[in-house]
Homo-oligomer: A and B are copies of this chain.
């Protein structure tokens, strides 16, 4: 079912410093920071030939990643995102397999304007997994 590895998301406190690591030290192409207040994050996309790394820092007072960066002050991988063709079918398949879908269980519109669900890390090898319909 899952298709492409859409992105690896790394959450950090200091987005400028994180961008410099990927742009200057690793020599990758990076975008300008994109505030996404509806998701409580500011994002920089690291554009690799076959996939993306997304650098995220908390935005606003109720960011969903604030707890993560407090616990991981040096930063850390927050989630991985795989593409699916049909988010409802994917959601139903996850539930049928006994895997936990976070939140209400209904897809919501993700950071790329497409429907997404998030899956519980304890059911996916300690990894927060996002599924995105493309």
Whether A3 sits at the interface, judged by CB under 8 Å, is yes
Identical subunits present: 2
Q: Would you give the 0/1 interface string for A105-134, flagging 1 where the beta carbon is closer than 8 Å to chain B?
A: 000000000000000011111110100000
Q: Would you give the 0/1 interface string for A55-80, flagging 1 where the beta carbon is closer than 8 Å to chain B?
A: 10000000000000000101111001
Q: Are A49's CB and B3's CB within 8 A?
A: yes
Between A and B, 23 residue pairs with Cβ closer than 8 Å are A2-B26, A2-B27, A2-B28, A2-B48, A3-B49, A4-B48, A4-B51, A5-B5, A5-B48, A10-B126, A10-B127, A21-B123, A21-B124, A24-B97, A25-B123, A27-B93, A55-B125, A74-B121, A74-B125, A75-B125, A75-B126, A76-B125, A76-B126
